[in-house]
Chains A and B, each alone.
Chain A
Amino acid sequence: MYVVVVGGGNVGYYLTKELLAAGHEVVMIEKDPSRARTIADELGSIVIPNDGCEGRYQAEAGMARADVVAAVTGDDEDNLVACQVAKMRFNVPRAIARVNNPKNEALFRRLAIDDTVSPTRAILAVIEHEIPIHDLLHLAELERGDVQVVEAQLDASSPAIGRMLRDLELPEGSTIAVIVRDDHAIAARSDTALRVGDSVLAITSAEHEAELRSLLIGE
C-alpha cells in the first residue's frame, strides 16, 4: 500500500518505521527541517521537509496515487486540513486523522474524514474499564451519536438486580443486546434475571440514555 504520513513527531516516526518494516511504500511530510533531516538520516530519503497541509507538497509526496493519508501531527487543526486537502484535491480513498481533543471526532467524521484515532479517548477508555464506575460506559456511537452502544456494570445498588428483563420498563428506543456474566456472553432473553456483577450491553437512543442509566445503575 502507498501511504503518506503527515507529521514526523513520535507518532509519525514510529508509524512510518512500522509501515516500512511491513513492506509498505511510505512518504512522510514534516514541517520542521531539522526534524525532517534527522528522520531522513535514519529512514532514507522519504521525507519531504515542508508543510503537509499545502497542496503542492502533497503533490510532491505523490498524494494523487496514495491509498491512505495519515495525519498524525500534535495539532488537530493541522490534521483536519491535511486530510481535507488530500481528499478534496487528490481524492485519496482513505484519510485517517489523529485527534487530540476527543470532542473533535464528531466534527472530523462529519467532514468526511474516514477514520479518527484519539489517544485521549483510548486512554480514557482504559481508565474507565479499570476503575469501577457508576455510569454507563460508551462503547460505540452509531448514526453520528444518535444511537449509543453502552455497557452498565451492575452492583448491589442497581435497582435492576433480581428482575427479569421482561419486567424492566426499558425506555423507548432502547434494547438490551447481551449480558456478560462470569466472562461469558449470555443471551438477553425475556426471562433472564439480572445479577450482581453482570455487565449489560445495551443499545439506546441518545435522548433516552439517562432513563436507561437510572433503570440499570440507579440514581
Chain B
Amino acid sequence: MRVIIIGCGRVGAMTAATLDERGDHVTVIDVEQRAFTRLPSTFGGVTVRGSGTDEDVLRSAGAEMAELLIALTQGDNRNAMSAQLGKHIFGIPRVIAKINDPLRAEAYRTLGLETICRTVVLADALVLAAAEGAEATNGAVKPPTAEPRQGTPPRGSRASAQAPAAPEES
C-alpha cells in the first residue's frame, strides 16, 4: 500500500517505520529536515521536506497515487487541512487526521474524515487497562528487586549526595 505520513514526530516516525517494515511504500513529509533523524537507519521509504498543507508538496510526495494519508503534525487544523486536501484534491481513498480536540474530531467525522484523537484513544486504553489488567497496557511490570528499599540510598540520588561517599566497589 502507498502511504503518505505527514509529521515525523515520535508517532509519525514509529508509524512510518512499522509500515515500512511491513512492506508498505511509505513517504514521510516534515517541514524540518532534522525530524527525519527519528526514523531508523533501516527505513526504506522516502522523505520529503515541506509543508503537508501545500498542494505542491503533497503532489511531489506522490499524493496522486497514494491509497492512505495520515496527518500527524502537532496542529489539529493543519492535520484537518492536509487530510481534506488529500481527500478532495487528490482523491486519496482513505485519510486519517490526528485531531486532539475531541469536539473538533467529532465534527470532522461528520464531514467524512477519519480522525484519531489521542485523548479518546488513551482514555479508552486506560479504561480497558482498569477492567482487563496489564494485557491492555504495554504489558505487566515485574516488581523491582535490585533496588534496596532501605539502607544506603541509591547512588546519584539527592540523599546519596548528602551522605558521606560510599567506598568505591572494586
Q: Which A residues are within 8 Å of any B CB, using their own CB?
A: 53-55, 75-78, 80-81, 84-85, 88-89, 101, 103-104, 106-107, 110-111
Contacts and interface: CB of A to CB of B under 8 A. Distances in A.
Contacts of B121: none
A54 B81 contact: no
Interface of B: 53-56, 75-78, 80-81, 84-85, 88-89, 101, 103-104, 107, 110-111
Given A76-B81, A81-B77, A103-B55, 7 more contacts: A77-B81, A80-B80, A84-B107, A104-B55, A107-B84, A110-B88, A111-B88
A75 B77 contact: yes
A88 B108 CA distance: 9
21 contacts: A53-B76, A53-B77, A53-B104, A54-B104, A55-B103, A55-B107, A76-B53, A77-B53, A77-B81, A78-B77, A81-B81, A81-B104, A84-B111, A88-B107, A88-B110, A103-B54, A103-B55, A107-B84, A107-B85, A107-B88, A111-B88
Contact of B104 (A76, A80, A85, A106): A85
Taking chain B's interface residues, is the majority helix, strand, or loop, or is none over half, making it mixed?
A: helix
Nearest to A82: B77
B107 A80 contact: no
A102 to B, nearest CB: 10
Contacts of A85: 104, 107
B101 A54 contact: yes
B81 A88 contact: no
B107 A106 contact: no
Given A55-B103, A55-B107, A103 B80 contact: no
Contacts of A101: 54-55
Nearest to A106: B89
Contacts of B111: 84, 88
A110 B111 CA distance: 12
Q: Which of A55, A75, A81, A103 is most buried by chain B, counting CB atoms within 10 A of its CB?
A: A81
B104 A77 contact: no
Nearest to A88: B107
A107 B80 CA distance: 12
A84 B110 CA distance: 12
A77 B107 contact: no
